[in-house]
Each structure stands twice: as structure tokens, then as C-alpha cells.
Amino acid sequence: MKFSHVISNAGPLIVLAKLNQLELLDDLYHEVQIPRGVYHEAVTQGLAYGAADALTIRLFWRQKQWPFIDTQPMPPSTNQAPVTLHPGEQAVLTLAQTLAKPLVLLDDEMARAEARRLSLPVRGSLGVLVQAYRQQWLTRAQAGLLIEEIGLRPDIWISAKLCEQVLESL
């Protein structure tokens, strides 16, 4: 399926920045939108904590000149998530519901489940790497190494077991 809009939460941006693979977003999607609150979480707060990946995201976003989107909360009747989501996740899902043919990039499993409940296509950091491999932006060896690295890094909160399962599926 061809997506008209790709909207990312902070998690995939942070993971890809830690791996120095943000360029894959441009290769795969040509433009990614983020709610302003996601930028604040990934960059402004990240820089305040001294996170090197925050600087990488800021420089990448500035270079690409990709948009920040201001989101408005959905009316309560249409925004009844059965789980509590972080503000960035909620903003991504709210924005995606207003767009034709969106793809949402989320790593948190509860947020991904909510996206599926809302019938929104969803992909996480691992899914981005698998897609990059399938579209030949990465070799099998490159994708495998990046997925293994994710599973081993203590600063990336994606389980090693999930990484192993994804590696087996390549």
C-alpha cells in the first residue's frame, strides 16, 4: 500500500538517530510529519537531558525541512482510547485520523495496539529496518546488524526477543 502521509512518534526517531539511520526515513517515505509535541519530546527534552540523538534529530529535521504539525485534541466521543497514551502518541494518532492513507510510526506496544484499534497502519523501528531491507536500501547483513544492535543496546527499549523474532523472519 502506498501511504500519502507518514507520521512519527518520538520512539522511532530516537532509535533511528541512535543507529545513525534517520536517512532511511527519507529513502522510504520522502517526507515524515511529526506533531510539534513529538519534536519537543524527542529534541527539546532530549537536549535538556544531554541526549546525543536529540541533536541528530534536530539537525536532520532542519536539513530536510520537514513539517511540524500542530494538533488539536479530538472530541471526547471519538477519542476514547482504552489505554492511557503519552501526549506524543495521542497527537500522532489524532493527526493520523484526519489524513487520507496515513502510516503511523510507533514503537510502544500499547500505542501500536490503539493504532490498530483505530484501523491505522502502523510500523515500528524494526519494521522500518525490515522495509528498508525489502526495498534494498539495506543489505541483509546491514539490516541484521542493526536489528541485533537494537536488541543489545540498553538505551533502546525494544526487547531482544522481539529482535530475534524479526531477524528470523528476514
pLDDT the model gives residue 77: 43
Q: Does any domain span residue 158? A: no
Q: Does any domain span residue 170? A: no
Q: Does any domain span residue 136? A: no
Per-residue pLDDT of the chain (170 residues; tens, 9 = 90+): 688 999 999 999 999 999 999 999 999 999 999 999 999 999 999 999 999 999 999 999 999 999 888 876 555 445 555 668 888 999 999 999 999 999 999 999 999 999 999 999 999 999 999 999 999 999 999 999 999 999 999 999 999 999 999 999 98
The pTM assigned to this predicted structure is 0.90
Q: Does any domain span residue 130? A: no
Find the domain containing 60 and state its range: 5-124
Q: 123 — phi, psi (to 5°)? A: -145, 145
Q: Does any domain span residue 129? A: no
Q: Does any domain span residue 43? A: yes
